[in-house]
Copies of this chain bind each other. A is one copy, B any other.
Amino acid sequence: VTRVLVNGREGRAIDPMDRGLQYGDGLFETFAVQDGRARFFDWHVERLVEGGRRLALPIPDARLLRDEVADAWPRGRGVVKLILTRGIGARGYRPPAAAVPTRIVSGHEWPARDSLLWSEGVRAGLCRTRLGRNAALAGIKHLNRLEQVLARAEWDDGAMDEGLMQDDRDRLIGGTMSNVFLLLAGRWLTPVLADCGVAGIMRRAFRGWAAEQGIAVMERDIAVADLAGASAMLLTNSLIGAWPVRELAGGALPLDPLAARFNAWLAAQ
């Protein structure tokens, strides 16, 4: 981390009574930043506003957030993470009547990753850890992430690149840190996220781009058993863009050119 702004001031001290720590009572966003400018900034803010609506958490003005993102990573290519909590509270679950949110904006180096992940594809497998279903929390990027932590702890980097997660009804939902798209019987599909999962910004970008290419990507309930019939798969997130999957649960998958085409478009944004 190079720089952290807490409520707009440089600093590294969070009050232990902050409800973000006490209960995971808050939201976050991870921005890909170039020269102080966040990619798809408006869409990140839209998701944050939706999260704020669900949690009854006031969201700061977008201009303030834009300025702080630029402050946290003004030059070059980097990652800015924004955490927004319900602020300091007394003991007990009840939210304060007038919450004063805590805003934490941190700048991070762009992660160094092998370019072969994009050109040759990645290895994905199914995690044992499942996602609980709760429509009230589905889609938004809240701070309750233990399921992802437990799933991500299941493998070492040497073994695979991303783990896929299912819900308790054996439905594929997404990767631990990514959304998933698969080609099934000639159609591109992505899981419905009504009950769990995060509605990724790059998921939205990929669907929008695909539609412009005349490729309809449908949201569907996808059974894990259907993965065996997939003829291609790709994974998206805000930092990686799209990764084509070359190996799924140990079996080879052909690389579809769609991921590379999307990444080329993305690089030109």
Interface residues of A (CB under 8 A from B): 1, 4, 6, 12-25, 28, 30, 55-56, 79, 81, 83, 85-86, 91-95, 104, 106, 108, 111, 129-134, 136-137, 142-153, 168, 176-177, 196
- Nearest CB to that of A6 among chain B residues? B16
Name the residue among A19, A91, A168, A176 with the largest chain B CB count within 10 angstroms. Answer: A91
Shortest beta-carbon distance from A2 to chain B in Å: 12
The complex is assembled from copies of this chain, and their number is: 2
Of the candidates B16, B86, B104, the one whose C-beta lies within 8 Å of that of A106 is B16
Known: A16-B104, A17-B106. 15 other contacts (CB 8 A): A1-B17, A12-B16, A14-B16, A20-B21, A21-B21, A22-B83, A23-B144, A93-B148, A93-B152, A93-B177, A95-B149, A95-B152, A130-B134, A134-B147, A144-B146
A27 to B103, CA, bound (A): 23
Closest to A25 in B: B149
- Look across to chain B and name the residue whose beta carbon is closest to the beta carbon of A151: B93
Assembled-state Cα–Cα distance A170/B249 (Å): 35
Measured CB to CB, the nearest residue on chain B to A21 is B21
Give the docked Cα–Cα distance between A116 and B196 (Å).
Answer: 41
Query: Which residues of the other chain, B, contact A16 by a CB distance below 8 angstroms?
Result: 4, 6, 12-14, 83, 104, 106
A30 to B4, CA, bound (A): 31
Closest B residue, CB atoms, query A15: B12
Residues of B within 8 Å of A148, CB to CB, are: 23, 93
Which residue of chain B lies nearest to A81 when distances are taken between CB atoms in the complex? B91
Judge whether B55 and A133 touch: CB under 8 Å: no
CB pairs A–B below 8 angstroms (19 shown): A4-B17, A16-B104, A21-B21, A21-B104, A22-B83, A24-B143, A25-B149, A55-B149, A93-B149, A93-B177, A94-B152, A131-B134, A132-B134, A133-B168, A134-B147, A134-B168, A136-B147, A137-B147, A143-B146
